[in-house]
């Protein structure tokens, strides 16, 4: 069987083998692999008809729908680079991305185009806007504000004569995925065809994905783990259900209705789902649930396993700069539920000291990822690229002295430790670690204990500058469903009984939930801590 080397081939080669199989479902509609492949080719031809040059950027600002997927694979099929934009972003944030990577073509809906009318004039490299549906009067009015900008109907673009795309090889750029920007302006992580295809094959192998799977796309497709639902499914010929949900209960309804066999989500969503009753039918179909984007609280994990005892839990760790890095095999979950596991297939994970030498077992160090999934760097930011993507020393594990080709690895900025059996444990991000009373404390360590009390629904811990402690630990939390009359005093008593004195929060604030998320669905620690400091400023 011919193996995919380019991103669009994940669809095209599967379409050759099984053209009638369902690839995508959105609401009551579905697309077969044959139909999806044809749409990708037609979109690529349309871009070539617009005169798009090799590696020029195509931004996609849409909710999850068929056009989003077709454009995401059709742009690299033409030799362009696709830029998925989180649909939760505001116009000013979208405009920043369009300007930052010099987007030439924007794919969006009439409603979203109308929202962009005041900022599109700032996007000087933009030449075409492909609109998915019939133009509303407010969307048509945008053309009067944007100079040379041309509007193109989706149906017209896909009706363009067939044209071959630009020459592309696997190390060429395929995508730019923007981080959430919680610590400043978003950074565009550049990924190659090789990165994304290697990631699809690796993840599909350990999740044991197959053509009988139905995977729920609950995460944003602009998030690396969200887009991975598409690539892993298309690699094996599985079906993806696109879901734009408003409430966590909508996720459970979709899982029951569609017979979902695989779910990947982030801890905040799992925390909410664990508090709901799950229809029994889900347990009959769900083969696995996978966690990414942070450590899942142990109590949440235990509850989920009770809800769906037949499903295997996969605890994963990844960073956009390398797509996916580690996973914990389900058979290890009972023995080491706090572990992020070992390296995924076709990757190596190192734990290094600041001087680049390997750490000893149990010694904290920086997680460093080497292999085919290491991205190409940050778009238009040589300084940040040099900070994170570094040459491995010739004596690093896996390196052979004297080789002519240099090897770059991703230095994650995350502190981890490796036990004697080789399993990794996340300690914290270097820029989030709290130093209090001379001790280094990870926010996730505090949060894990708070969740174990079963008195909080969601929580976030952060450090605030303190004249004598260094950092004072503060917590913002929501009340757990079913905690009754137990409140803040009870929670503080539990903290004192479960934590060493230096870790006990200086203050806990109980608020109405849910806590704010960043665009990728993670609880926005930076926003909450900044807001807390502003509210308590002298």
Task: Report, as an integer, the average pLDDT of 332-354.
Answer: 95
Is 115 within a domain?
yes
DSSP per-residue string spanning 27-51: TTEEEEHHHHHHHHHHHHHHHHHTT
CA distance 268 to 289: 14
Last residue of a domain, one of 379, 407, 429: 429
Is 305 within a domain?
yes
How would residue 135 be classed by pLDDT, with cut points 50, 70 and 90?
A: low
Residue 393 clears pLDDT 80, i.e. is over it? no
**Please, are residues 350 and 343 in contact by the beta-carbon 8 Å criterion?**
no
Burial class (CB in 10 A: 0-12, 13-18, 19+), 65: middle
Is 205 within a domain?
no
Is 314 within a domain?
yes
Which tokens go with 123? 């996007």
- Here the CATH number for the domain that contains residue 166 is 3.40.50.980
Whether residue 452 sits in one domain with residue 335: no
Q: For residues 402-414, b (16+ Cβ closer than 10 Å) or e, as one string? A: eeeeebbbbbbeb
The one-character DSSP state at 502 is G
pLDDT of the residue at 538: 73
Residue predicted with more confidence, 232 or 465: 232
Residues near 223 by beta carbon (within 8 Å), at least 6 away in sequence: 86, 177, 293, 519, 520, 521
Whether residue 393 sits in one domain with residue 456: no
pLDDT of the residue at 136: 61
Tracing tokens 């005169």 back to the chain, one arrives at: 51
Is 206 within a domain?
no
Tracing tokens 């990924």 back to the chain, one arrives at: 191
Is 302 within a domain?
yes
Report the predicted TM-score, pTM, of the whole model to 2 decimal places: 0.84
Task: Report, as an integer, the average pLDDT of 457-481.
Answer: 88
**Please, are residues 390 and 370 in contact by the beta-carbon 8 Å criterion?**
no
Whether residue 468 sits in one domain with residue 386: no
pLDDT of the residue at 521: 82
pLDDT of the residue at 180: 60
**Please, are residues 44 and 89 in contact by the beta-carbon 8 Å criterion?**
no
pLDDT of the residue at 170: 97
Which of 176-185, 245-254, 445-454 shows the lowest mean pLDDT across its residues? 176-185
| Helix, coil or strand: residue 143 | helix
Closest-CA residue to 103 (of 115, 116, 114, 111): 116
CA distance 127 to 134: 19
Whether residue 423 sits in one domain with residue 300: yes
CA 531-536-538 angle, 5° bins: 130
List, as own/partner pairs, every contact residues 476-479 make where C-beta atoms lie below 8 angstroms and the sequence separation is at least 24, other chains included: 476/508, 476/509, 476/511, 476/515, 476/528, 476/532, 477/450, 477/508, 477/509, 477/510, 477/511, 478/510, 478/511, 478/512, 478/513, 478/514, 478/515, 479/455, 479/510, 479/513
Whether residue 481 sits in one domain with residue 397: no
Whether residue 440 sits in one domain with residue 311: no
Helix (H) or strand (E) holding 498: helix 488-498
Whether residue 164 sits in one domain with residue 145: yes
**What CA–CA distances, in Å, run from 3 to 151, 200, 212, 214?**
37, 12, 19, 22
**Please, are residues 319 and 325 in contact by the beta-carbon 8 Å criterion?**
yes
The one-character DSSP state at 322 is G
pLDDT of the residue at 505: 95
Closest-CA residue to 203 (of 174, 239, 226, 232): 232
Last residue of a domain, one of 429, 457, 483: 429
Q: What is the CA radius of gyration of the chain?
A: 24
Q: How many structural domains is the chain composed of?
A: 3
Whether residue 438 sits in one domain with residue 421: no
Task: Report, as an integer, the average pLDDT of 343-372.
Answer: 95
pLDDT of the residue at 441: 81
The one-character DSSP state at 513 is S
Residues near 114 by beta carbon (within 8 Å), at least 6 away in sequence: 136, 138, 139, 141, 142
- Here the CATH number for the domain that contains residue 492 is 3.30.300.30
> CA 175, 199, 201, 61 torsion: positive or negative?
negative
Whether residue 444 sits in one domain with residue 347: no
pLDDT of the residue at 192: 97
Whether residue 282 sits in one domain with residue 147: no
| Helix, coil or strand: residue 431 | coil
CA distance 285 to 208: 15
The domain of 414 spans 245-429
| E strand spans, 173-311 | 173-178, 188-192, 214-217, 239-242, 262-265, 288-291
Last residue of a domain, one of 407, 429, 451: 429
Is 201 within a domain?
no
Which tokens go with 280? 């029994």
How would residue 45 be classed by pLDDT, with cut points 50, 70 and 90?
A: very high
How would residue 266 be classed by pLDDT, with cut points 50, 70 and 90?
A: confident
Is 303 within a domain?
yes
Closest-CA residue to 263 (of 207, 195, 339): 207
Whether residue 391 sits in one domain with residue 253: yes
Whether residue 184 sits in one domain with residue 48: yes
Write out pLDDT tens, residues 162-184. 999 999 999 999 999 998 643 45
């Amino acid at each position: 069987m011919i193996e995919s080397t380019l991103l669009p081939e994940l669809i095209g080669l599967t379409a050759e083998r099984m053209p009638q199989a369902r690839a995508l479902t959105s609401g009551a509609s579905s697309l077969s692999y044959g139909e999806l492949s044809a749409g990708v080719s037609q979109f690529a031809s349309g871009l070539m008809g617009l005169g798009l040059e090799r590696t020029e950027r195509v931004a996609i600002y849409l909710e999850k729908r068929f056009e989003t997927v077709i454009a995401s694979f059709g742009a690299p099929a033409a030799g362009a680079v696709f830029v998925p934009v989180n649909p939760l972003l505001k116009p000013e944030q979208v405009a920043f991305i369009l300007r930052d990577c010099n987007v030439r073509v924007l794919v969006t809906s009439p409603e979203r185009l109308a929202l962009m009318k005041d900022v599109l004039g700032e996007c000087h490299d933009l030449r075409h806007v492909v609109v998915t549906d019939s133009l509303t009067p407010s969307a048509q009015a945008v053309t009067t504000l944007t100079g040379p900008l041309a509007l193109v109907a989706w149906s017209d673009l896909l009706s363009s004569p067939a044209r071959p795309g630009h020459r592309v090889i696997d190390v060429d750029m395929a995508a730019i995925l923007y981080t959430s920007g919680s610590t400043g302006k978003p950074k565009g992580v550049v990924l190659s065809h090789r990165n994304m295809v290697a990631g699809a094959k690796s993840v599909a192998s350990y999740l044991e994905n197959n053509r009988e799977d139905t995977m729920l796309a609950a995460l944003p497709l602009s998030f690396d783990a969200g887009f991975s639902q598409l690539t892993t499914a298309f690699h094996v010929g599985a079906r993806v259900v696109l879901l734009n949900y408003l409430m966590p209960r909508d996720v459970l309804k979709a899982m029951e209705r569609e017979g979902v066999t695989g779910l990947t989500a982030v801890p905040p969503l799992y925390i909410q789902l664990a508090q709901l009753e799950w229809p029994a039918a889900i347990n009959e179909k769900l083969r696995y649930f996978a966690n990414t984007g942070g450590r899942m609280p142990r109590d949440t994990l235990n509850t989920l396993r009770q809800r769906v005892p037949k499903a295997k839990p996969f605890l994963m760790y990844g960073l956009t700069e390398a797509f996916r890095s580690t996973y914990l095999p389900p058979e290890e979950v009972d023995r080491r539920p706090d572990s992020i596991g070992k390296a995924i297939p076709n990757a190596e994970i190192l734990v290094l000291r600041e001087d680049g030498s390997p750490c000893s077992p149990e010694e904290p160090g920086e997680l460093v990822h080497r292999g085919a999934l290491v991205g190409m760097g940050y778009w238009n930011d040589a300084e940040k690229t040099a900070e994170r993507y570094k040459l491995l020393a010739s004596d690093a594990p896996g390196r052979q002295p004297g080789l002519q080709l240099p090897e770059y690895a991703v230095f994650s900025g995350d502190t981890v430790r490796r036990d004697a059996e080789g399993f990794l444990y996340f300690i914290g991000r270097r820029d989030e670690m709290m130093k209090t009373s001379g001790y280094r404390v990870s926010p996730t360590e505090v949060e894990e204990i708070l969740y174990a009390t079963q008195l909080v629904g969601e929580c976030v811990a952060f450090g605030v500058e303190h004249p004598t402690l260094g950092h004072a630990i503060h917590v913002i939390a929501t009340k757990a469903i079913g905690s009754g009359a137990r409140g803040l005093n009870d929670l503080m008593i539990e903290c004192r009984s479960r934590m060493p004195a230096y870790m006990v929060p200086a203050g806990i604030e109980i608020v109405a939930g849910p806590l704010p998320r960043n665009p990728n669905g993670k609880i926005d620690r930076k926003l909450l801590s900044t807001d807390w400091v502003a509210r308590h400023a002298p």
